[in-house]
Amino acid sequence: MLRFYTYPKCGTCQKAKKWFEEKGVAYEAIHIVEQTPSKETLKELLENSGLELKKFFNTSGVRYRELNVKEKVATASEEELLALLASDGMLIKRPIVTDGKKVTLGFNEDVFEKEWL
């Protein structure tokens, strides 16, 4: 079953949830703020995604700007950045969907069709 890291008030997450329901795709919803992924989980997601770590940051979020994360991303180590992400679910780009092997960030209907059907 897919793990769906979501924030219920997020419009993009709502679109992804609606897509899953319309397509009949089973998933386990995990509230990304109440159950923020651990540093270890984030490291695994990063490795399985094939993406750069900076893609995991919610760059349009208020917390990202408040904490001046843009500058930290440029100079911090991977371990420091993973710890920062694990400290606050609002810093993480969402939704994150994984089957334990593949990972997608955000919602793109074409990507979801290819990866999750």
- Give 40-47 contacts, CB < 8 A, sequence gap 24+: 41/86, 42/82, 42/85, 42/86, 42/92, 43/82, 45/96, 45/98, 45/103, 46/82
Return d(Cα 6, Cα 65) in angstroms, integer: 20
pLDDT number for residue 16: 98
DSSP E strands, the chain: 2-6, 27-31, 96-98, 103-105
Could you tell me if 3 and 29 are in contact, meaning their C-beta atoms sit under 8 angstroms apart? no
Residue 78's nearest CA partner among 105, 37, 40 is 40
- Segments of the chain with pLDDT less than 50: none
Q: What fold characterizes domain 2-116?
A: Glutaredoxin (3.40.30)
* Both tokens assigned to 63: 């917390």
Which residue type does 78 have?
A: E
pLDDT number for residue 86: 98
Residue 107's nearest CA partner among 99, 116, 117, 95 is 95
pLDDT number for residue 40: 97
